[in-house]
Amino acid sequence: MQKFITLIISFLMFFILCVSFIVAAEDVEIALEAELASKIQKPMVIALPIDAKDAGGVETDEPSGGKYVWAPGPPVTGGGGSGFMEFKVDIPQDDTYAIWGRVIAWDGNSDSFWVTWMPADPEENPQQTDNVEFRWGVAGGGTWHWDRINHWLDGGTFDREWELEKGESILKIWTREDATMLDCLFITNNLAANEGGANVRLPEDDEREEQEGNIAVEPLEKISTTWGSIKNQY
Ligand SMILES: [Ca+2]
Ligand SMILES: [Ca+2]
């Protein structure tokens, strides 16, 4: 009988341990501004809402951080094939990741990018290889909306997943059709198919600062530290 009770208690403790582990494990969330990419290759450029109108389309609603990135072009005409934006992404743990993009796609000729994420993807230039594995069919819409990055294969469109190890990675979003717009990105190990389930959100100020490489010591903090150390001397 005692053995049985011990077994039950051990089992319960193991169960509680498992549950607390699951509850404690938080999702990885990395939110990035397109306009703060570490490299932007022309004709992709950083743009303001009014630039979309100047290019022959309509002014966009307010993007996160006031800006977005695109290869400028009028609606319907297509074009594309050169330029990219590149992000250095620090992966915090070995895991499987999804990416969401906040986008505008006016029409069927301005609704795609190429996407490669090294080292999970090879160092391939899809603008040259035309490899549909890396083709992102962007969800249409004239106002900012979230779209999970997919493969737009010849046989259908499927959400993409990347297996990455902890460490530095390089994410490249390449022009495929002019006028497709990217406001920001959200990377997560939560693979839920809808944006609510994946807790998709805009970048926060501290994330923008980190992207800018501008994490400086707050001057006020510096002063109070100095004052504190002076006081301590007396
Ligand atoms: Ca298209
Ligand atoms: Ca933005």
Report CA(175)–ligand 2 centroid distance (Å).
Answer: 17
Output the pLDDT for position 2. 72
Q: Assess whether pLDDT exceeds 70 at residue 149.
A: yes
Q: Assess whether pLDDT exceeds 80 at residue 8.
A: no
Classified by CATH at the fold level, domain 28-214 comes out as: Jelly Rolls (2.60.120)
Output the pLDDT for position 25. 76
Return the ligand number nearest the Cα of 79. Answer: 1
Report CA(26)–ligand 2 centroid distance (Å).
Answer: 25
Output the pLDDT for position 32. 97
Output the pLDDT for position 220. 45
The mean pLDDT of 178-196, rounded to a whole number, is 98
Among residues of the chain, what percentage have pLDDT more than 70?
Answer: 82
Report CA(120)–ligand 2 centroid distance (Å).
Answer: 25
Output the pLDDT for position 230. 41
The mean pLDDT of 112-117, rounded to a whole number, is 98
Output the pLDDT for position 16. 58
Output the pLDDT for position 183. 98
Poorest-confidence range of 36-45, 129-138, 209-218? Answer: 209-218
Report CA(231)–ligand 1 centroid distance (Å).
Answer: 66
- Residue 18's pLDDT band (boundaries 50, 70, 90)? low
- Residue 14's pLDDT band (boundaries 50, 70, 90)? low
Place of tokens 């990135």: 69
Q: Assess whether pLDDT exceeds 60 at residue 229.
A: no
Report CA(100)–ligand 1 centroid distance (Å).
Answer: 18
Report CA(152)–ligand 2 centroid distance (Å).
Answer: 24
Report CA(139)–ligand 1 centroid distance (Å).
Answer: 10
- Residue 22's pLDDT band (boundaries 50, 70, 90)? low
Q: Assess whether pLDDT exceeds 90 at residue 24.
A: no
Poorest-confidence range of 43-52, 103-112, 215-224? Answer: 215-224
